[in-house]
């Protein structure tokens, strides 16, 4: 039972050490010995001792004090005190300091074995308890780390959600409304508002709002308070349970995004408030970025359109027919796009391309463009280059890249026999397929110097005949219904 146990015997009497060592070695123990407290402590520091038998009186230190030092060095060490004479005080002191048992000399060896077995069992329990408490401690640490990790994941997910929602915005979405809505949803607000701010009059104008149905109490953002807050240079104005951040465009405060936390989330920790401020700022910054981009896009787009409208004016001065033709084709195409259920982006492309779809004609000589008679094959080939010329002019402006593709394709045919690329079917952009039908209809129903206009009825018959060859049959079908129902008329 004591096989391979590592035992330290400490006694100033070498005879006792010898006798005990012999006996314990016979029982399979590995014995270490010391006659002083210093040597004993040194051995415990360097050897993994399991049981120590300590004499109460040693030359350099009392056994009880040595017990204290040894326990500090190795808390799991089982210590059995030995003495030839003892007082109750010694026993109590030793037990208080963690002695496992007490042996009064002379003691019987059988009794020693029993005491040692008991002490070793106690040691095993102590080690087990230590291991258990350490594993509990580890478990707690893991739980804390897990909570922190969950919190970080939650933060990242929220940031991702905010960015994704703003990135999905199109130019048809209201950025201010979206900003208020995102702040309301993400931050668990009962009320979310955006105010425009007039720095001159110091007025706050409520522009957008989203709130809980059961929110009746009024919450007012005071202009004077906000003005004072701006002068502090702080990033967020906090009043009771409301958080307000400025919305800044090109260095100017244009307004404020303000949220009121729900009642059940008022008892928020400082950490959560920091998070709320961070996310509210993030929402404000994303909205500012979107608004700035829109301003930039709109001014750029306006400049580009002005340039092209002046090009159209130049064409129209050469050919009056083209001007009115382009206007009619645009109106017809937009009505048709509506009937076909096209999205706003495609309708916008048609709105831009319609008036300038024949932009390339600016590069066609007057002798061909204004010729009153029928064009020769060679002249017709030159005339056909206008779709590519138009695309080349428009492609100088990256912002109109989609529109330039439509201009290039507006004379493609559904059966692939059109020009310039011989595209067919759905490979021809839908806006180009719409333009092709409307362009032909308007040309055929308009008087030209070399021929008189066909009737609407005859023109529709001709267009129907060309469904599936020149034109997209589905578009033709909807177009004919549109014209016959009088939804669009010349
Ligand atoms: Fe054309």
DSSP 3-state of 224: helix
Q: Which pLDDT does position 334 carry in this prediction?
A: 94
Residue 104 has pLDDT above 60, yes or no: yes
Q: How far is the CA of 457 from the centre of ligand 1 (A)?
A: 23
Q: Which pLDDT does position 319 carry in this prediction?
A: 66
Average pLDDT over residues 121-136: 85
Share of the chain above pLDDT 70, in %: 93
* Cβ-count burial 409-448 (b if 16+ within 10 Å, e if not): bbbbbbeeebbeeebeeeebbbbbbbbbbbbbbbbbbbee
| Sequence-distant (≥ 6) Cβ neighbours of residue 311 within 8 angstroms | 356, 359, 362, 393
Q: How far is the CA of 410 from the centre of ligand 1 (A)?
A: 7
Q: How far is the CA of 406 from the centre of ligand 1 (A)?
A: 11
d(C-alpha 490, C-alpha 488), whole Å: 7
Regarding whether 324 and 233 lie in a shared domain, the answer is no
Tokens of 43: 């051995």
Q: Give the largest Cα separation in the chain, rounded.
A: 141
Main-chain dihedrals φ then ψ at residue 54, nearest 5 degrees = -115, 130
Q: How far is the CA of 358 from the centre of ligand 1 (A)?
A: 5
Regarding whether 455 and 364 lie in a shared domain, the answer is yes
Share of the chain above pLDDT 90, in %: 36
Average pLDDT over residues 63-67: 89
Looking up tokens 């100017």 gives: 252
Q: How far is the CA of 145 from the centre of ligand 1 (A)?
A: 68
Regarding whether 269 and 344 lie in a shared domain, the answer is no
pLDDT digits 0-9 by tens, 314-347: 766 766 666 778 888 999 999 999 999 998 889 9
| Domain range for 243 | 175-294
Q: Which pLDDT does position 489 carry in this prediction?
A: 46
Element at 386 (helix H, strand E): helix 386-394
Number of domains making up the chain:
3
Q: How far is the CA of 299 from the centre of ligand 1 (A)?
A: 29
Q: How far is the CA of 390 from the centre of ligand 1 (A)?
A: 9
Regarding whether 186 and 52 lie in a shared domain, the answer is no
Query: Residue 9's beta-bridge partner residues?
Result: 33, 53
Q: How far is the CA of 323 from the centre of ligand 1 (A)?
A: 12
The answer to whether 412 touches 382, Cβ cutoff 8 Å, is: no
Tell which of 106, 132, 158 closes a domain.
132
Residue 287 has pLDDT above 70, yes or no: yes
Residue 490 has pLDDT above 60, yes or no: no
CATH assignment at residue 429? 1.10.3210.10
DSSP 3-state of 154: helix
Q: How far is the CA of 375 from the centre of ligand 1 (A)?
A: 15
Q: Which pLDDT does position 369 carry in this prediction?
A: 82
Q: How far is the CA of 369 from the centre of ligand 1 (A)?
A: 11
Residue 87 has pLDDT above 70, yes or no: no
The CA distances from residue 288 to 257, 282, 335, in Å, are: 11, 10, 35
Q: Is residue 299 part of a domain?
A: no
Q: Which pLDDT does position 257 carry in this prediction?
A: 92
Q: How far is the CA of 357 from the centre of ligand 1 (A)?
A: 6
The answer to whether 53 touches 109, Cβ cutoff 8 Å, is: no
Regarding whether 345 and 279 lie in a shared domain, the answer is no
Place 86 in a pLDDT band, splitting at 50, 70 and 90. low
Q: How far is the CA of 361 from the centre of ligand 1 (A)?
A: 8
Average pLDDT over residues 237-264: 84
Q: Which pLDDT does position 384 carry in this prediction?
A: 94
Average pLDDT over residues 231-251: 84
Task: Indicate the average pLDDT of the chain.
Answer: 86
Q: In this structure, are strands 203-211 and 189-198 parallel, antiparallel, or unpaired?
A: antiparallel
Q: How far is the CA of 329 from the centre of ligand 1 (A)?
A: 11
Regarding whether 339 and 455 lie in a shared domain, the answer is yes
Q: Which pLDDT does position 321 carry in this prediction?
A: 65
Q: Which pLDDT does position 268 carry in this prediction?
A: 47
The radius of gyration of the chain's CA atoms, rounded to the nearest angstrom, is 46
Regarding whether 41 and 88 lie in a shared domain, the answer is yes
Q: How far is the CA of 476 from the centre of ligand 1 (A)?
A: 18
Regarding whether 387 and 282 lie in a shared domain, the answer is no
In 391-464, the DSSP E strands lie at none
Element at 6 (helix H, strand E): strand 6-10
467 cis-preceded (ω within 30 degrees of 0): no
Average pLDDT over residues 68-83: 89
Q: How far is the CA of 209 from the centre of ligand 1 (A)?
A: 48
Helices 430-444 and 456-465 sit at what angle, rounded to 10 degrees?
140
Question: Does this model's pTM top 0.75?
Answer: no
The answer to whether 247 touches 287, Cβ cutoff 8 Å, is: yes
Q: Is residue 241 part of a domain?
A: yes
Residue 487 has pLDDT above 70, yes or no: no
């Amino acid at each position: 039972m004591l096989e391979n146990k590592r035992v330290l015997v400490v006694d100033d009497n070498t005879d006792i050490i010898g006798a005990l060592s012999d006996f314990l070695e016979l029982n399979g123990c590995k014995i270490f010995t010391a006659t002083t407290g210093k040597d004993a402590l040194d051995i415990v520091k360097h050897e993994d001792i399991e049981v120590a038998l300590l004499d109460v009186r040693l030359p350099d230190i009392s056994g009880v004090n040595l017990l204290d030092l040894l326990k500090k060095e190795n808390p799991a060490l089982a210590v059995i005190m030995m003495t030839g004479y003892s007082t109750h005080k010694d026993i109590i002191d030793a037990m208080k300091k963690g002695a496992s048992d007490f042996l009064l000399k002379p003691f019987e060896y059988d009794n020693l074995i029993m005491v040692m077995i008991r002490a070793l069992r106690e040691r095993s329990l102590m080690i087990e308890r230590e291991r258990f408490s350490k594993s509990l401690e580890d478990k707690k640490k893991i739980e804390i780390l897990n909570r922190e990790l969950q919190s970080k994941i939650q933060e990242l997910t929220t940031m991702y959600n905010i960015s994704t929602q703003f990135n999905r915005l199109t130019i048809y979405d209201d950025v201010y409304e979206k900003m208020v809505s995102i702040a309301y949803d993400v931050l668990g607000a009962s009320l979310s508002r955006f105010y425009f701010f007039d720095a001159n009059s110091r007025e706050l104008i409520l522009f957008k709002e989203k709130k809980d149905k059961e929110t009746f109490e009024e919450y007012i953002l005071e202009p004077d308070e906000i003005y004072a807050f701006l002068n502090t240079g702080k990033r967020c104005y906090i009043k009771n349970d409301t958080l307000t951040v400025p919305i800044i465009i090109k260095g100017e405060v244009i307004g404020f995004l303000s949220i009121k936390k729900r009642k059940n989330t008022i008892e928020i920790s400082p950490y959560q408030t920091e998070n709320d401020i961070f996310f509210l700022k993030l929402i404000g910054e994303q909205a500012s970025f979107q608004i700035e981009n829109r301003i930039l896009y709109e001014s750029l787009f306006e400049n580009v359109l002005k340039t092209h409208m002046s090009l159209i004016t130049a064409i129209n001065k050469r050919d009056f027919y083209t001007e009115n033709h382009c206007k009619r084709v645009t109106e017809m195409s937009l009505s048709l796009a509506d009937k076909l259920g096209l999205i706003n982006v495609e309708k916008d492309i048609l709105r831009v391309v319609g008036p300038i779809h024949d932009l390339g004609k600016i590069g066609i000589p007057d002798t061909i463009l204004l010729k009153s008679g029928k064009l020769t094959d060679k002249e017709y080939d030159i005339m056909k280059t206008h779709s590519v010329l138009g695309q080349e002019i428009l492609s100088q402006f990256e912002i109109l890249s989609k529109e330039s593709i439509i201009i290039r394709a507006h004379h493609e045919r559904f059966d692939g026999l059109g020009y310039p690329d011989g595209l067919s079917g759905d490979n021809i952009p839908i806006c180009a397929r719409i333009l092709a039908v409307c362009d032909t209809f308007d040309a055929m129903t308009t008087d030209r110097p070399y021929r008189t206009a066909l009737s609407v009825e005859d023109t529709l018959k001709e267009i129907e005949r060309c469904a599936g060859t020149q034109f997209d049959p589905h578009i033709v079908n909807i177009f004919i219904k549109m014209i016959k129902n009088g939804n669009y008329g010349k």
